[in-house]
Chains A and B, each alone.
Chain A
């Protein structure tokens, strides 16, 4: 309670998270794109939005039954889910920016 304050409320609390994902790469010579945004949307929905949206992270979304779902740990987990999706494509995951509120966000570059 001393460390986390109101965020330690035993029954939890919620946020409207905003996730920005940055890809890096050379545009494909034919399509002119680094990555097809439709495919990116499918990946985002499958890997992050569907499993996490409107869930109680601590109870419903492993590994947050064991790992504290701070913004930092969420960004690391999201990176871990997304980065492998771009293997074998011209794109590489460059950064994950996760806003917990308009005034607080973390950037993770996978290192």
Chain B
């Protein structure tokens, strides 16, 4: 049976301030520059989620798109959209909301709620700006 990769794209807008608690104010300013602005700043994020699996002969699809949309909406978009990540989203209480950390956190959010029988989550792409995105290959088996 044929195995395909299916990629769906989701969008949310969120603000953040890049500020590492381990560093001094001057070091944060030097490292993050304008992204260290005390009142934060925002991005229109784009998240591309790739799953890999066999095509269901009955539906002709790897996964019903509505089911994937519902999972992303519940686990990510509804939690992140129009939020100040540092204050409004719990995982960023202790870590800086860089695109790198966001890709890992989004992966964990998806894995925690990954439905049984879903095709495997194999790749995430989190795009912060048109010039800046992070790719995360999901290596571990999703169970």
Binding site of A, secondary structure by majority: helix, strand, loop or mixed?
A: mixed
Of A5, A68, A76, A107, which is within 8 A of B5 by CB?
A: A107
CA gap between A72 and B8 in the complex, in Å: 13
Q: Is B78's beta carbon under 8 Å from chain A? A: no
Interface centre among A68, A72, A103, A111, by most chain B C-beta atoms within 10 angstroms, is A72
Q: Which residue of A lies closest to B7 (CB)?
A: A105
Contact B55 A76 (CB under 8 A): yes
Q: Which residue of B lies closest to A70 (CB)?
A: B60
Contact A70 B8 (CB under 8 A): no
Number of interface residues of A (CB under 8 A): 20
Of A3, A5, A72, A104, which is within 8 A of B4 by CB?
A: A72
Report the minimal beta-carbon distance from B9 to chain A, rounded to whole angstroms. Answer: 4
Contact A111 B7 (CB under 8 A): no
Of B4, B59, B64, B65, which is within 8 A of A75 by CB?
A: B4
A-B residue pair count with CB separations less than 8 angstroms: 51
Number of interface residues of B (CB under 8 A): 17
Contact A72 B65 (CB under 8 A): no
Please indicate the chain A residues that have their CB under 8 angstroms from the CB of B2 in the complex. Answer: 72, 76, 108, 111
- Which A residues contact B (CB, under 8 angstroms)? 3, 5, 67-73, 75-76, 102-109, 111
Q: List 17 A-B contacts (CB under 8 A).
A: A3-B64, A68-B59, A69-B60, A70-B55, A70-B59, A70-B60, A72-B6, A72-B62, A75-B4, A104-B6, A104-B7, A105-B6, A106-B4, A107-B5, A107-B7, A108-B4, A111-B2
